[in-house]
């Protein structure tokens, strides 16, 4: 337990000589954003995710089987938007200097604009997903989270992919001492899961209270803070800024 707590602390407050430096807490912030937007999309846009593409593939199967509440069109739109966002993210990553904070900053500029635009659409509609806004919201959010996922993949901070927890949870168990492994980095991995849980919890609570666009507002604010921080970090020339 002491080791796990130390690992969690070093993720939130990294050592100045850490290989990934201040990228770690920023990745946690983006993981909270994932929970927020997926809570919004699943609960407001009709059983579809904008970040969890594994779930969408399964939902597509449900829709084809005729299960109520699932839309094949919505699933395909979300998948296509996410892929488009990943393509856009790849272009952002390869444009300009290969500085890790600089890459994150450029990607976050794009993402905050997309998620912010989704918030405006949701706020103006009053009832997101029920008045012709479903597909525009899926496109805007899918693009934004595709950019985020491509960027997190490029930065390659271990166990902090921001959108996928399956391998994180698997690693926690499979690499544990109990399984005969070298040690699971449980502190960081569980913190990543907790961040997504927190985002989903907050998103569900504010939606349940009737504030339909609030999850996207919170996500936009978090992204803006991360973007400003990344811009400041882009001036650094510390070792962690170099690509792994």
Sorted by where each begins, the domain ranges of the chain are: 23-233
pLDDT band at 94 (very low <50, low <70, confident <90, very high): confident
pLDDT band at 13 (very low <50, low <70, confident <90, very high): confident
Mean pLDDT of the chain: 90
CATH T-level assignment (fold) for domain 23-233: Growth Hormone; Chain: A; (1.20.1250)
Higher-pLDDT residue of 228 and 129 is 228
Q: Which stretch of 67-71, 158-162, 216-220 has the lowest confidence by average pLDDT?
A: 158-162
For the chain, what is the largest distance between any 2 Cα atoms, rounded to a whole number of angstroms? Answer: 55
Alpha carbon 122 to its chain centroid, in Å, reads 19
Higher-pLDDT residue of 180 and 235 is 235
Higher-pLDDT residue of 5 and 124 is 124
Query: For the residues 56-82, what does the mean pLDDT come to?
Result: 95
pLDDT band at 110 (very low <50, low <70, confident <90, very high): very high
pLDDT band at 23 (very low <50, low <70, confident <90, very high): very high
Distance (Å, rounded) from C-alpha 47 to C-alpha 113?
A: 24
Distance (Å, rounded) from C-alpha 15 to C-alpha 19?
A: 9
pLDDT band at 244 (very low <50, low <70, confident <90, very high): low
Distance (Å, rounded) from C-alpha 75 to C-alpha 81?
A: 10
Distance (Å, rounded) from C-alpha 78 to C-alpha 204?
A: 20
Contact 18, 24 (CB under 8 A): yes
Show the tokens assigned to 62: 């449900």
Distance (Å, rounded) from C-alpha 51 to C-alpha 78?
A: 9
Say how many C-beta atoms besides its own lie within 10 A of residue 202's C-beta.
18
Distance (Å, rounded) from C-alpha 101 to C-alpha 230?
A: 5
């Amino acid at each position: 337990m002491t080791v796990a707590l130390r690992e969690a602390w070093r993720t939130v407050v990294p050592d100045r000589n850490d290989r990934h430096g201040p990228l770690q807490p920023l990745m946690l912030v983006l993981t909270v954003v994932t929970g927020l937007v997926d809570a919004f999309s699943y609960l407001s846009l009709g059983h579809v995710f904008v970040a969890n593409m594994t779930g969408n593939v399964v939902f597509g199967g449900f829709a084809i089987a005729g299960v109520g509440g699932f839309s094949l069109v919505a699933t395909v739109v979300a998948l296509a938007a996410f892929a488009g966002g990943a393509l856009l993210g790849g272009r952002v990553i390869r444009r300009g200097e290969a500085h890790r904070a600089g890459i994150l900053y450029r990607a976050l500029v794009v993402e905050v604009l997309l998620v912010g635009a989704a918030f405006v659409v949701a706020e103006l509609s009053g009832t997101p997903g029920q008045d012709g806004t479903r597909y525009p919201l899926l496109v805007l959010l899918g693009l934004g989270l595709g950019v985020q996922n491509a960027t997190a993949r490029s930065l390659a901070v271990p166990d902090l992919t921001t959108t996928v927890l399956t391998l994180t949870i698997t690693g926690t168990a499979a690499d544990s001492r109990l399984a005969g492994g070298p040690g699971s980095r449980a502190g960081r991995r569980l913190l990543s899961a907790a961040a997504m849980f927190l985002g989903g919890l907050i998103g569900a609570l504010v939606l349940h209270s009737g504030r339909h666009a609030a999850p996207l507002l919170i996500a936009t604010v978090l992204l803006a803070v991360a973007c400003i921080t990344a811009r400041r970090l882009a001036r650094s020339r510390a070792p962690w800024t170099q690509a792994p």
